[in-house]
Amino acid sequence: MKFIFSVFIRGAATLISLAFMIILTRSISQPEVGEYLAGMTLMMGIVTILKFGFDTYIIKLSSPNPHNAAQICYTLICLSLLFFVIVSSIYMLVYVTGFYRLSLTNTYFCISSIFLVVLYIISGYFKATSNNYAANFIEVGLVPLVLSLLFIFYKERLDVLSASKLYLEGISMITLFLCLLILIKDGLPHSWRIDLSRNHFRECLRIMLVNTLEFICVWTPSIIILVFIMTSESTLITTREFAIYQISMRISLLIPFSLVVMNSIMAPHISRLISSGDLQELSNRLQVCSTLLMITILFPCIFIFFFPDVVVGIFGDEYLGYTSALVIMVLGQIVNVCVGSVGYVLMMSGNSSVYLKNTLGGCLFCLVLSLLLIPKFGLTGGAIAYVGALVIRKIPSAIFIFRRFRVRTTPSIYGLKMILNKRGLGHALE
């Protein structure tokens, strides 16, 4: 029941996110969509560094005593703000020298990054306190919901600059509201100190590096597509191609929403079972979860394979005819979902360095494939590079976990039997 309700919440949030993308693509021109999504890409890169793995590590720090989650949340937010001040100061020095200056659109997104970092940490706080429903909605649905309402209200006066400004206004309001909510719920912390020793710092650094490399794996094809097409004579083609690729990617990222739900539910259990040494129980639960995830994504994937134009067409007629990249990306997401929660298992077991190495390998593989395939095959080449990097990251990680811990994270006959057995399914998802 818990899983079903979480899927419902995450599914609703995902639909809201999809609705926002539809509103965006139908409110501003295709070139402006490309510019808007390029600004969001820049923002997500900054966020990946600024959050320093705190959104994941707060779960591990809080697992011994969830009552300390609020204190840890406050402290990590302050540390993130400190990082933001340092990064901003460095940029101001670069700005003064005239070496590099952001456009106003990108400036709005860069300022938004600190609010998004705080939002991720707050989501980690809710996961640590076992409030997965709130965490799922915050991560996926809350920002698109508020932005959709703002975009609908300002639709007649909307362009890429005003859209990026609305993003800043919307996410700042959301973040301040959630901070106030936690303050009312738990009050001020008795102490601002947390156990962030040298080992803990190294662990956070590894998580941050993993997240950074994952970001590079995901966005390297986008960046290279943008660079290659920007060398062409038409700027319109540049932004158009980038917009099409980004829309295809965001559609494919809707597929693993159930995996994100499962990760949010399982993360505290993974940490607890590894700490207690109950690896067989961990293996059983992960097999059930992976099998259930495979069943969950079956219908939407089949629909996209057979009717890709229908899916792409909801964003506008100008996006029709570019479905090969979407189909390839969906195939990659099937692998991603079926492999399961390998990242969480490695990070919670103190083997984040292994995941780091696999992600680095995927990153280099993605870069090489992007440089080789994009000039020849365009968007399709970028999609192949993206999927290749995903496979390189995930499958070796699953093999390592099985060999090291005898823990299976992939679908199995055992998982199917447990799903058919209501008690077994309930135990795995409790």
DSSP code per residue over 164-232: HHHHHHHHHHHHHHHHHHHHHHH-S-S-------HHHHHHHHHHHHHHHHHHHHHHHHHHHHHHHHHTS
158-to-110, 154, 171, 183, 319 alpha-carbon distances in Å: 20, 6, 18, 35, 20
Q: What is the pLDDT of residue 194?
A: 52
Cα separation, 243 vs 220, in Å, equals 15
pLDDT given for residue 427 in this prediction = 56
Per-residue pLDDT at 400: 93
* Residues 51 and 185 placed together within one structural domain of the fold: yes
Cβ-count burial 219-245 (b if 16+ within 10 Å, e if not): bbbbbbbbebbeeeeeeeebbbbbbbb
Domain end among 164, 196, 228? 196
- Shared domain for 184 and 234, answered yes or no, is no
Give the separation between CA 383 and CA 250, rounded to whole angstroms: 12
151 Cα distance to chain centroid: 23
Closest CA to 55 of 179, 139, 169: 139
Residues 95 and 202 in one domain: no
Looking at residue 317, its pLDDT comes to: 76
Rounded Cα gap, residues 371 and 369, in angstroms = 5
Per the structure, how many domains does the chain have?
A: 2
Residue 224 sits in the same domain as residue 157: no
What domain range is 109 assigned to?
A: 1-196
Do residues 110 and 24 both lie within one domain?
A: yes
pLDDT at 252: 86
Does one domain contain both 191 and 202? no
Give φ, ψ of 141 to 5 degrees: -100, -30
CA distance 194 to 240: 48
If one counts every other C-beta atom within 10 angstroms of the C-beta of residue 111, the result is: 18
Residue 132 contacts residue 3 (beta carbons within 8 Å): no
Look at residue 64 and give its three-state secondary structure.
coil
Do residues 190 and 53 share a domain?
yes
d(C-alpha 170, C-alpha 141), whole Å: 13
> Is the domain of 56 the same as that of 73?
yes
Same domain, 249 and 150: no
Q: Fill in the DSSP letter of residue 140.
A: I
- How far is C-alpha 309 from the geometric centre of its chain's CA atoms? 25
Note whether 399 and 408 are within 8 A (CB). no
Residues 293, 280 within the same domain = yes
User: In this predicted structure, what is the pLDDT of residue 236?
Assistant: 43
Residue 117 — φ and ψ, nearest 5°? -60, -50
**What is the spatial distance between Cα 303 and Cα 300, in angstroms, rounded to a whole number?**
5
Asked whether the beta carbons of 369 and 388 are under 8 A apart, the reply is: yes
pLDDT of residue 234: 46
Residue ending a domain, among 167, 196, 225, is: 196
Can you tell me which residue has the tokens 């992600």?
359
In a shared domain, residues 274 and 165? no
Rounded distance between C-alpha atoms, residue 429 and residue 1, angstroms = 8
154-171 burial, b at 16+ Cβ within 10 Å, e below that, comes to eeeebebbbbbbbbbebb
DSSP output for 225-252: HHHHHHTSS-HHHHHHHHHHHHHHHHHH
- pLDDT tens, position by position, for the chain (430 residues)? 555 666 666 667 777 777 888 888 888 877 788 788 878 877 887 887 777 766 666 666 555 555 566 666 666 677 677 767 777 777 677 666 666 567 778 888 888 888 888 888 777 777 767 666 677 677 777 788 888 888 887 766 778 888 888 888 888 888 888 888 877 776 665 555 555 555 666 666 676 677 777 777 777 887 787 677 656 654 444 567 777 788 888 888 878 777 776 776 777 778 788 878 888 888 888 888 888 888 888 888 889 888 888 888 888 777 777 788 889 999 998 998 888 888 888 877 878 788 888 888 888 898 899 888 888 887 888 899 989 988 888 899 999 999 988 899 888 888 888 877 766 555 555 5
pLDDT of residue 396: 92
Q: Are 142 and 205 members of one domain?
A: no
**CA–CA distance, 290 with 170 (Å, rounded to integer):** 35
Could you say which of 160, 176, 196 is where a domain stops? Answer: 196
